[in-house]
Amino acid sequence: MEYKLVKLDRLSGKSASLYSLFVQKEQKTLFDKFIEENKNSFKSELKDIVKRLNTIGNKIGAREHFFKQNEGDLGDGVCAFYDIPNSKLRLYCIRYGSLIVILGNGGYKPKNIRAFQEDEKLTEENFLMRKISAIITERIENQEIVYSEDYMDFEGNLEFNI
Amino acid sequence: MSKIENYNSSNIDELFQEISSDELEKTEKRMLLAVRIDEGIKAMGWKKIDFAKALNKRPSEISKWLSGTHNFNSDTLFDIEKTLGIDLINVDTKPKQQTSVYHVFVSSKTNQDKENSCFNYIEGKPLISYNLQAFK
């Protein structure tokens, strides 16, 4: 599957850049899919997520305490955006400091499971983010991807084939 | 080097159409509160676990406080203020002192008698008085 990193115009601002992965075959981003898959059952949770992401992009930045850490491999930046109390809508992200966040997909984490690995959909989305993170890390190391001068953006080889 | 492409999502736009400016403001304030608390913890040289111990709470509860999603009650905010030595709620009951500024314009000297003068006489001798117009 081919993906391309894109910047979400509506959510990005002076405090942080919010990205997602554009799925070439489906002509939409992973975050679009997250919204479409959950808007019938979890509309208010989605609105809350979007409000908070908007605040992150435009006012406050992607501070660490807004994300549930260690959702991926050690040090890979894969995390989950905190859901509102009593909601189990899980959105997987990759956080690069407080300036860049890549929003993935996720889903509903049922209350009867303790870890995402018990749910096929969540496992799939989580592992996709781990793969993306690993590729980006490798490309940063060999300078195929670099930070922009203000560190607000990535530049370089932003397409992925997974 | 290729630059990142901007992407406009109609899904995100549709959600924003259902969000009022008041809701956005409320969310922002809630998150700013979390930021204040996080910075207060760091200013104490503490980690979350130290703060949790100081308040006799579980670390997971502190994580929820800092998530930007928590709806605090006032008692909890007072406890946090006291523990961290920061202000989160301003409940100063003293009315603000109002200062009025007057611009005094002196127009001319007058020779007013004692009754009309706004100035006192000293030892029976009139002071020079002036017409005063005061503009706020």
DSSP string, B13-69: HHHHHT--HHHHHHHHHHHHHHHHHHHHHHHTT--HHHHHHHHT--HHHHHHHHTT-
* Section B77-102 average pLDDT: 78
pLDDT confidence bin for B115, thresholds 50/70/90:
very low
Structure token pair of residue A43:
């509309």
Q: How many CB pairs under 8 A join A and B?
A: 118
**What are residue B64's phi and psi, to 5 degrees?**
-65, -40
Res A4: pLDDT: 97
A55–B7 C-beta distance less than 8 A: no
Output DSSP code: residue B94: S
| B7 contact residues in A (CB cutoff 8 A) | 6-9, 20, 22, 29
CA dist B15 to A19, A32, A46, A96, B112, Å? 17, 11, 8, 26, 75
Q: Is the pLDDT of residue B116 over 50?
A: no
* Section B112-128 average pLDDT: 46
Where do the DSSP E strands lie in chain A? 2-8, 17-23, 28-29, 67-68, 78-81, 89-96, 100-108, 145-147, 154-156, 159-161
C-beta of residue A98 within 8 angstroms of C-beta of residue A111? no
**B2 in reach of chain A (CB within 8 A):** yes
Q: Which helix (H) or strand (E) holds B103?
A: strand B103-110
Structure token pair of residue B73:
């009650």
Residues in chain A: 162
- Rounded CA separation A162/A2 (Å): 6
pLDDT in tens, A109-130: 877 766 777 788 999 999 999 9
Res B98: pLDDT: 60
| B41 contact residues in A (CB cutoff 8 A) | none
**A26 in reach of chain B (CB within 8 A):** no
Query: pTM for the complete prediction?
Result: 0.82
Give me the interface pTM, i.e. the ipTM.
Answer: 0.93
Task: Indicate the residue of A29, A52, A146 with minimum beta-carbon distance to B9.
Answer: A29
Report A:86-145 residues touching B (Cβ under 8 A).
none
pLDDT confidence bin for B124, thresholds 50/70/90:
very low
| B64 contact residues in A (CB cutoff 8 A) | 82, 85
- Rounded CA separation B48/A1 (Å): 41
* Section B58-79 average pLDDT: 93
pLDDT confidence bin for B106, thresholds 50/70/90:
low
CA dist A119 to A60, A104, A112, A124, Å? 33, 17, 10, 9
- Rounded CA separation A53/B7 (Å): 16
- Report the sign of the C-alpha dihedral through residues B81, B85, B86, B91, in that order: positive
pLDDT in tens, A45-66: 999 999 999 999 999 999 999 9
Residue of A nearest to B33 (CA): A60
* Section B69-89 average pLDDT: 93
Which portions of chain A are predicted below pLDDT 70? 113-114
Res B111: pLDDT: 55
Res A112: pLDDT: 73
